[in-house]
Chain A
Amino acid sequence: DAGITQSPRYKITETGRQVTLMCHQTWSHSYMFWYRQDLGHGLRLIYYSAAADITDKGEVPDGYVVSRSKTENFPLTLESATRSQTSVYFCASSEHGSGANVLTFGAGSRLTVL
């Protein structure tokens, strides 16, 4: 299927566990992004990537790790999950980073850390 897909859509885990959220896009977009969305904070950028093997921190990177070995995949790992990381996580992609930089979002991954 064409588009951007996230998995899992829902995940419940415990404090201290490692969790990986997957993101896959079929457009060969250069740029990919991870956001978290929380009540009262809106969308906050965690990490982004301009190309394979190039990643940069966003506004709230602490506690998260990303990698991008292939253009189409951009997994987000919580190495030791904390309750404050309970959130809805959105992956997005865009063809360019400059100019209008229109983002296309996935459907989101809802993570609960107990």
Chain B
Amino acid sequence: QKEVEQDPGPLSVPEGAIVSLNCTYSNSAFQYFMWYRQYSRKGPELLMYTYSSGNKEDGRFTAQVDKSSKYISLFIRDSQPSDSATYLCAMKQSGNTPLVFGKGTRLSVIA
């Protein structure tokens, strides 16, 4: 079992839909949880990060972390065609440890 599991999709939704993207993980020592967005033929860019459990909201995006279930989610409200990209979850322990990435979920928002 990989440390971080993420359904690769692809996921196709109509414009305006609410999108839910998820990752599960096995390492209970993970403390920092991030979502990166990657457009086609570009490098990933940080979308949001959360420390420990809880929710964080930024505009149309909400990140949730449930450490008891080892489950993180990213919600996109009122999805737009410009949200079409691959979304990668990433997480790490405290200290000088490297990020561990999920495989990414490819999302298409259809106008």
A positions within 8 Å CB-CB of B? 33, 35, 40-45, 48, 50, 58, 90, 92, 97-108
Contacts and interface: CB of A to CB of B under 8 A. Distances in A.
B70 interface: no
A98 B99 CA distance: 10
B92 A101 contact: yes
A107 B32 contact: no
A7 to B, nearest CB: 14
29 contacts: A35-B101, A40-B8, A40-B103, A41-B103, A42-B88, A42-B102, A42-B104, A43-B88, A44-B101, A48-B98, A58-B98, A90-B43, A90-B44, A98-B95, A98-B96, A99-B32, A99-B94, A100-B34, A100-B49, A100-B51, A101-B92, A101-B99, A102-B34, A102-B46, A103-B46, A104-B45, A105-B44, A107-B43, A108-B42
Given A35-B101, A58-B98, A92-B43, 15 more contacts: A42-B101, A43-B104, A98-B96, A100-B51, A101-B32, A101-B99, A102-B34, A102-B49, A103-B46, A103-B99, A106-B43, A107-B42, A107-B43, A108-B42, A108-B43
Contacts of A43: 44, 88, 101, 104
A108 B38 CA distance: 11
Interface of B, helix, strand, loop or mixed by DSSP: loop
B60 interface: no
Contacts of A48: 98
A41 B44 CA distance: 15
Given A40-B103, A100-B49, A33 B98 contact: yes
Contacts of A99: 32, 94
